[in-house]
Structure 1
Amino acid sequence: MKTRMNVGISSLILIFIVLCLVTFGLLSMSSARNDLTMAERNGDSVKEYYRADGEGERFIAMIDGKLKSAADPDAQGPQDIPESSMEQALKELGDFYDEEQQVIHTDIPMERGQALRVELDPGTEGEKGAWCRILSFYVYNQEDYEIDQSMPVWTGQ
């Protein structure tokens, strides 16, 4: 007597389990690759911000130095700078000084269409003995963000 072994169902279950494991493995690899890409982009953005931040701090130090050099050696702050010396120092700044708004400003370009905006008030003493007060120090988009709407979408008609 020959007995027949039923291996068909167990083989199908095993094949199904292997396919599920392969599918989940591929999805995990894809997710990990996307996470790595996003982490690298985030790291690049952070590096770019700190590069621009360093340039902004150097700009503030440069302006602070120019205002100090325009003052008398015994001056204690920007209020002690003679008006003629202050006007001369501000003229030397060129495009950095906006006469209408009476602020010193610069835009430090960053990647992906962004820039760091630094605005200073030259007539007011700042924090920690600085010879100018920081009015604004922020990142903004130089380019207008435009959403791509070129894909035709069915409107139901």
Structure 2
Amino acid sequence: MELEDFERAVRGMLEEVPAMTLATCADGAPWATDVYFAPLGWRLVFFSAPTSRHCRNLAVSEACAATVHPQVASWRDIRGLQMEGRARPVAGLADKAAATAAYVAKFPFVKDLLANPGDTARKLAKVAPHVFVPCRIRYLDNALGFGARFVVRLADGRPAGPPQREESA
């Protein structure tokens, strides 16, 4: 698989799938949660309450993992992303504005929720933008052959080389 094909497949999936599963760990206790996300380049933006278990875990260690995959009816159709990286709250006004703009672009209904006062708007005021920054992305696509996996490492937010095919275990 060429880098252009890898990027097209990954970016397409990041636009298509609304939620990722974020896995964190603190004090030896793993935790996974689903969060809606929006791509911002290779970074993934999500909004969460600082008091949530995954955010408390990230306050202890930014190291985490995430998966993104559409629902399928057959193992032959399985495709998805497995990622390693770090996640943290978005800092700075410009970065928060960019994160919010990316999120609203993927989920236009959020703009209406923010604009209309009410219970939902009050709840949204308690969440903050966070960013997952992958350092390694594995793309799995059984349509390319059972267990077909391609891995790219990222450096400075960009692929550090062409995808490497991984053999199934």
Structure 1-normalised TM-score? 0.29
Asked which structure has the greater RCO (Cα within 8 Å, sep 6+), the reply is 2
Greater helix content: 1
Q: Which has the larger radius of gyration?
A: 1
Greater strand content: 2
